[in-house]
Amino acid sequence: MGSRRYDSRTTIFSPEGRLYQVEYALESISMAGTCIAIMNPKHGIVLLAERKITSKLLEQDNDNDMEKIYKIDDHVLVGVAGLTSDAESLIDNARIYSQEHLKQYGDQVPIESLVRHISDIKQSYTQYGGIRPFGVSLLYAGYDDMNGYQLYTSNPSGNYSSWKAISIGSNTQSAQTLLQMDYKEDMTLDECIRLSLKTLSKTTDSSSKLTSDRIEIATISHDITTLNGVEKKNLNMKIYKNKDIEKLLKEHKVNDKDGEEDEDMDVE
């Protein structure tokens, strides 16, 4: 009950030094669909997000409507967990910032610069009266020539951090434990996809199977071409369609309990 005296405004600290409105925003994210990202510094990044279907009557176009993974530019994707409307506001801002940087400097925006810009906006919404924190956490997956592949996450407080593998949304602690157990830096991109699907399947409701209408998957990778003896790195961004996701689910036996047990034995 004591918190009620200090949670009416974002600018009021409790005697313990807490900002309750920010904590409430973090709590709302813990009830959102899970979003997982796994990076291999050499091969690329996998981004997987869970859609929470609130009604069977909701019409969806799985091949075109990406509700949890957004393309910011040709070199960066963002996964979201939390309030979609809040996320879309930040996504629009990120796209504008990216294009303004490209127009001004003639080069794609560095990933950390983009992350810092959006995080500064988030932080400002915890500092002034009459506004509330953004109820969304973001996963940034991207590549730039300076630092290669990068994976960041930011929360409603405006804090951001760099990761090799991370989960946001519901069941984060369980998912993070599985990622810590099974992540290896030399994993191929296909193995990263396999681990992300395995992690999601083990941390979601066991009574319901994972299907393509509940999952969004995207990857960032590259291939190298040689022209006149000069190597050129070509960045590839792939957002998986419904049929591709179904193929992955069957290939990795995500809904096959026997296959899952065999997989665990192989890992051991």
- Taking only the tens place, the pLDDT of each residue in 100-113 is 999 999 999 999 99
Name the CATH superfamily for 17-51+65-267.
Answer: Aminohydrolase, N-terminal nucleophile (Ntn) domain (3.60.20.10)
Question: Residue 34 has what DSSP assignment?
Answer: P
Q: Give dist(CA 90, CA 114) in Å, integer.
A: 11
This prediction has a pTM of 0.88
pLDDT at res. 265:
36
Q: How many CB atoms lie within 10 A of CB 202?
A: 16
Q: Is 259 helix (H, G, I), strand (E, B) or coil?
A: helix
Instruction: Judge whether residue 18 has pLDDT over 90.
Output: no
Both tokens of residue 159?
């804090």
Give percent above pLDDT 70 in the chain: 86
Report the pLDDT value the prediction gives residue 54, as an integer from 0 to 100: 64
**What sections of the chain are H helices per DSSP?**
20-29, 84-105, 111-124, 172-182, 189-203, 242-251, 257-267
Q: What burial class does residue 179 get, using C-beta atoms within 10 Å of its C-beta: 0-12 exposed, 13-18 middle, 19+ buried? A: buried
Residues 221 and 119: their CA atoms lie apart, in Å, by: 25
Q: What region, left, alpha or beta, does residue 126 occupy, with left being phi > 0 and alpha being psi -120 to 50 degrees?
A: alpha
Contact 67, 169 (CB under 8 A): no
Calpha distance 81→108 (Å, rounded): 25
Quickly state the pLDDT bin for 148 (edges 50, 70, 90): very high
Pair 34, 198: CB distance under 8 Å: no
Which tens digit of pLDDT belongs to each residue from 26-79? 898 998 999 999 999 999 999 999 987 766 766 765 555 668 999 999 999 999
Examine the pLDDT at 228 and tell me if it is beyond 60.
Answer: yes
List b or e across 8-21, with b for residues whose CB sees 16 or more CB atoms inside 10 angstroms: eebeeeeeeeebbb
pLDDT classification of 224: cutoffs 50, 70, 90 = confident
Which position has the higher pLDDT, 211 or 5? 211
- Identify the band that residue 17 occupies on the pLDDT scale cut at 50, 70 and 90: confident
Q: Give per-residue pLDDT as tens, 151-186.
A: 999 999 999 999 999 999 999 999 999 999 999 999
Distance of alpha carbon 26 from alpha carbon 157, whole angstroms: 9
**How far apart are the C-alpha atoms of 245 and 242, rounded to whole Å?**
5
Crossing angle of the two packed helices 84-105 and 111-124, in degrees rounded to 10: 130
